[in-house]
Chains A and B, each alone.
Chain A
Amino acid sequence: MSNLIEIRDMMKIYNPGENEVRALDGINLTVEHGEFVAIVGQSGSGKSTLMNMIGCLDIPTSGTYYLDGKNVEKLKDDQLSEIRNEEIGFIFQGFNLISNLTAIENVELPLIYRRVPAAKRSELSTAALIKVGLEHRMDHRPNQMSGGQQQRVAIARALAAAPPVILADEPTGNLDSKSSKEIMDILRELHSEGRTVILITHDDGIAATAERIIRIMDGKIESDTKAGEKTESDMRMGGQNE
């Protein structure tokens, strides 16, 4: 079986020329099926940009990307839509809920595009909303909900269709520590069911619970550590403490 993700020399350059921003600057990354990966890094380091590439939402300036053995560059628009719909559950940093739709309607969207029949759709969406603790807010619109509640709707939307890959961009960014823990428990549960989870976070505590931590700086991978290993900087800090 091929690796889930294989990225080679990926670049994403915004505004080429004078004010160019190298959001991704030569990324090489391999993720296997069933991994639990945390991506960390400073604000503006390129985490979301990388995540968008992994989620087939954006097109890199250069480099190759194989997803589950398929060369993404060669895929047609409709095939990309299918992958986004069936393979990936994407939790956006900015939620990206549709403001006209209620919580449950938002959660149903990917299921509609997957042609799930209405009854099944509402069953799955209700279950997902209950899972994130929003059973009392199903018919509320985004503007009637708090930031944390909106974030949980976005999470429910990504979970409802039970995709094999979950990409979560700061899923706990707007949540209190108790809710954060609940969400992390859900993600861990999904992982233990065999799904691949890739998670962006600022919170070192949360990152530490992942199997693998990828640290990004200025569009480059600075370090890539499996659980139990120690990075150079960790060792340096450890040395100072002693």
Chain B
Amino acid sequence: MVQIYEYVKMAFSNIKHNKVRSFLTMLGIIIGISSVILIVGIGNGAKNVITSQMSDIGEGQICVYSGDSTDTYYITNKDIEKIKKLDGIKAVSVQDGMQGKVQALKGDFDVNITCVMPDYKYFSNTGIKEGRFFNESEYNAGMPVCTIGEKDAISLFGTTNVVGMKIPVDVYGTNINFKIVGVEKAKSDSFISFDYGEKSVSIVVPETMIRKVYGVEIDNFYAVYILAQKDADTYEVANSVTKMLNNNHKVKADEDIYMVENFSDYMSIVNTVINIVTLIISLIAAISLFVGGIGVMNIMLVSVTERTREIGIRKSLGAKTKSIMLQFLAESVIITLLGGIIGIILGIACATGIASIVSAINPSLAFTPDVGVGAIFVAAAFSSIVGIFFGIYPAKKAAKLSPIEALRRN
């Protein structure tokens, strides 16, 4: 133990006396580790943002629609009630559209009216800023209530404080005074967002409103939107829905009437892209680690070879091969350890710095760097192994020479 302390002391004094050499060795390690952390951190951070924004938009969403315009194949309210009872289903809604016009203070606007069921609130990926979604009783009663997007509220009224206000919309000649019950949050903090034109706003209303407009009960829906529960397999859910619809509408076994659009399909495309990106990130990280490793190797090889004479002197004074090895081991461990710590700190600092610069420039691209212990560990382990191996291997070779031979090498 006492001896170990001597070697560590020796190592520190040697590192101090060879500042440039020690620094260059550390630099290789610092560059290797910090670039891995930087690349992986930023890459994963961006990946996380894309994944979470994609899944915010539509994770678990399935659309089942009739591929045949024959009346008997339209989806009915009865179908929907049955779908709600199937396993793994969280929410079901239909979605129908109407067009209207409104005369507001700021001029005439087109109104996109989306007619949905109360479960719509589960599909909304932004959430409510003010007020609430329309409820079950308003839906059943077919009341003229609506929610409006934050931006559209501002377009129409110049404020988002609009709950309780009314929007008089002309829908195909019928005047309906929609009462605003809620304001949906804007999607602007997502870089995947859809925007309609300037002079158009969107409102979401109970689908039962349609009967107010047409004066007839509507029970024919072309499509139904289903939200699967978080842990449910969306493909299984879609299957059970189509099976049920086939049953209800007596579809023959060889006919394909009900079609499925599953958001998981889009997700898997995105995932493939993300995996390719991950692969490229890892490759770049591996290359920078390798380059750093070669730097460390070179300097270690040169510096130990330079010190063959010192090894000869120590040996001639009674150092054993093991003592020489321990001395060089202590030195390379200290250098790689210091370099590793600096590299990790520098890498994280750079990644965080870049992330905050990016979000300052463009908030919609904001992300948090995600390095992960794995990447740090692999980078640190690789650099340390390279540093330590090339720190002691040539030292061992030199220590095996007879002292005179070692003294003569130069």
List chain A positions with a Cβ less than 8 A from chain B.
52, 55, 57-59, 77-78, 81-82, 84-86, 90, 92, 96-98, 100-101, 105, 109-110, 112-115, 117, 157
Contacts and interface: CB of A to CB of B under 8 A. Distances in A.
Interface residues of B, number: 26
A98 B310 contact: yes
A100 B17 contact: yes
Given A77-B321, A86-B318, A113-B314, 19 more contacts: A57-B316, A57-B402, A77-B320, A82-B320, A84-B315, A84-B316, A84-B317, A85-B318, A85-B319, A90-B317, A96-B313, A96-B316, A96-B407, A98-B310, A98-B313, A100-B17, A100-B310, A115-B2, A117-B2
Interface of B: 2-3, 6, 13-14, 17-18, 310, 312-323, 400, 402-405, 407
Contacts of A81: 315, 318-321
27 contacts: A57-B403, A57-B404, A58-B402, A58-B404, A77-B320, A78-B321, A78-B322, A81-B318, A84-B316, A84-B317, A84-B403, A85-B319, A90-B316, A96-B312, A96-B316, A98-B314, A100-B17, A100-B310, A105-B13, A109-B313, A109-B317, A110-B317, A113-B317, A113-B318, A113-B319, A115-B3, A157-B317
Nearest to B10: A112
Contacts of A57: 316, 402-404
Contacts of B321: 77-78, 81
Given A57-B403, A58-B404, A113-B323, A100 B18 contact: yes
A100 B317 contact: no
A113 B403 CA distance: 15
A59 B14 contact: no
A52 B318 contact: no
Nearest to A90: B316
B314 A109 contact: yes
A98 B403 CA distance: 14
Contacts of A59: 402
A191 B323 CA distance: 32
Given A98-B310, A100-B14, A115-B2, A84 B318 contact: yes
A88 B319 CA distance: 13
A97 B309 CA distance: 10
A52 B13 CA distance: 30
Contacts of A115: 2-3
B51 to A, nearest CB: 54
Contacts of A52: 404
A92 B402 CA distance: 15
Nearest to B313: A96
A100 B14 CA distance: 7
Contacts of A55: 316
